[in-house]
Structure 1
Amino acid sequence: MNQPRQPLLPRPSWAENTRVADVLRKETVGGALLLVASVAALVWANSPAAGSYESLRDLRIGPEALHLHLSLGTWAADGLLAIFFFVVGLELKREFVVGDLRDPRRAALPILAAVGGMVAPALVYVAVVASAGRDGLAGWAIPTATDIAFALAVLAVVGTHLPAALRTFLLTLAVVDDLLAVTVIAVFYTDHVQVWPLLGAAAGLVVFTGAVRRGVRAWWVLLPVAVVTWALMHASGIHATVAGVLLGFAIPVARAADGSPGRPGLAEHLEHRLRPISAGVAVPVFAFFAAGVAVGGGDGLRDSLTDPVALGIVGGLVVGKAVGIFGTTWLVARFTRADLDENLRWLDVLALAVLGGIGFTVSLLIGELAFDSETLAAHVKVGVLTGSLTAAILAAVLLRARNRAYRRIAKIESEDSDEDGVPDVYQQR
């Protein structure tokens, strides 16, 4: 007797769907703030008052100890983004410990798609830059990241009712993508390592892990240890955002040790508290300081977009991401004989793959790490902005074409005939 074929993008459990919907609502608001901050930075950086923007971005504050006398732009990249990556660490650990992705069959697709969505853009970038004979290969990782906040802002503007399976796939893909990106930063964008600060950061991580494992929840205990760990990681030469991910991984996901049914676990508690700060403050402030590039009129924009580095970024984001995510998903379906849900189409997968080409926050961060040249740094920003905007427009067109179908699916996923609060489709085996 033939076994039924496995679904390629299965509908998540009701609990997972509810949690993902709550996360996406918060990230959508953050995406809107990110867009506002980016536009404000671009307008200011290209206005007669551009000098004041640069002065604000380059204003240095902080103690000299542990190399912490930094510009505001660096504080945003190294400090505020550590909060963002801390939330990424929490999210990923929760997915694999108690979420739907604890099932290896469900976890395989978004992980493989994220890897494909990282390899293909890097190859496109390298091919473009190498063919021009330019020494810009250090930026190969710039087009490999997906910005979930920016992507969700596009979804909010389009007004689509994205089905639960696609929402979960998009969020998980972006989270795994961010983890891969911070791994790339740690491995490939670390010029030198100071051993003693690194050992100190490791000791701080051990203390933090021991405290949370023993049930310590007091912020006045955990925050100082986390800040010291972050500062030592920064002093070690490894990008400080790595500390954010590692600290997030250290948080236990289980419910409170005293068994109180109404008391959330520490991971859930911290995610609830920090996600609004991450999405609403950390990422928009970083975008404000990172996106302000002086284009210099039509000639400046033309010079930027004819640079192979910028062209490689645009090609990686628009073409590489789409090919990598869609191609990997198709290959998984081909070799596992999995089928799409009858309500979904391969056009939906392509739309999400194109949407994954919005690589804003982490792409700008990697661009800052890859090049010291101010000219190349400006061209990187133009490439990231152009590629992300192009991917956003193409994804919006594809998603809009399927919006009527999404509304129909959303109606099915919300129907509850027995009034128990759980739609019927989530109660069917």
Structure 2
Amino acid sequence: MKNDMKSTKRDTEKVILLAFHDKKIDEATFQSTVDELKSLATTSQLEVIEVFTQKRERPDQQYYFGKGKIEEVIEFIELNDIEVNAIIANDELTTGQSKHLDELFNTKIIDRTQLILEIFAQRASSREGQLQVELAQLDYLLPRLSGHGKSLSRLGGGIGTRGPGETKLETDRRHIRTRMNEIKHQLETIVSHRSRYRERRQQNLAYQVALIGYTNAGKSSWFNQLSNDETFEQDLLFATLDPKSRAITINNGFNVILSDTVGFIQKLPTTLIAAFKSTLEEAKYAQLLIHVVDASHPHHMEQYETVMSLVNQLEMGHIPMLVVFNKKDMVESAQLAVSEHSIFVSARDVKDKVKVKEKLVQMIKETMEYYEMTIPSTNADQLYWQRTHTLVETLEFDEETNSYHIKGYKQK
């Protein structure tokens, strides 16, 4: 914890951002990735001094940017007499690019992947989250060991707050592979515990709903609203890393397991998708997804598409989805035509909480099958079970037969 305290008190580091604009990518999409890189820097407590962009067919093999543009960046630093603590590239750099940029600027060279890894390292609080961060960091480092330590170092020390530090960078590949295997075994144990827990829930016929969405869209706000819980809720990228699940009750008794998940992002490093797969396991086995979209974000439709693309990659496209266009209090309208199951709401509005729950009930019914049954009034246990494990539509008492007639929906 002492290290964490120190890192928050250190002077704000000044950085310059370099963003390569692929000619095949339109201006709006490119600009959204640049805005996101700025947000990532802010989340990591860095001060962005200037952003340089260059439109090309492909990045320069040696320097990422063309030589002329690089000279422009050097000139800017010299003219303004700024001490730049790091140069951050908007793409994953090769070892060669990183090394050559380091020689030119004589400062830390960091790419988008490293910055995301740094934030993940700061945010992970559970044992599983910390292991996954370290695995992703080592996976990133392994092919770059032939480079130099400096460009692989963290903004204020090692790459990750709790991950591999500077000393581990000098160790051989075999040592890193051994450590990666150790972590994978530990993660397998954690995942098997979770799958046993999930199987138990399924045996108990617990209905599972998972919140997914772009980072900072408001998933944790809705998790708190629907579960009356207090999870970490802040205007930061990747505020939630560790999967959380809570039992909530809807429709006067029906139990639902609600799970919160890590946020999606454009250009999410493949090492992170692999390492954090288990944090998305809760979503993968859900019977219903709630996709939260920040309707107030200028590029919210690109964010929606990014999430949908990753949902399909993770083979979750078949799961029914409620699209929640969030932050109605900050914007006038939303593109509801993306789905027949979409709703425009604000997590700050109590009435909207009721609306979301009503929509949830409606969609859950569509994933279930209708049933009717009669239960003697003496069978209180069966009556309670039907109320908590099925969606009861009507419950009528028949005085003549001294029994209850139930109409509702049950899991298929």
Pick the TM interval, shorter chain.
under 0.3
- Between Structure 1 and Structure 2, the one with more strand by share is 2
Which of the pair has the greater relative contact order for Cα pairs under 8 Å at 6+ separation?
A: 1
- Between Structure 1 and Structure 2, the one with more helix by share is 1
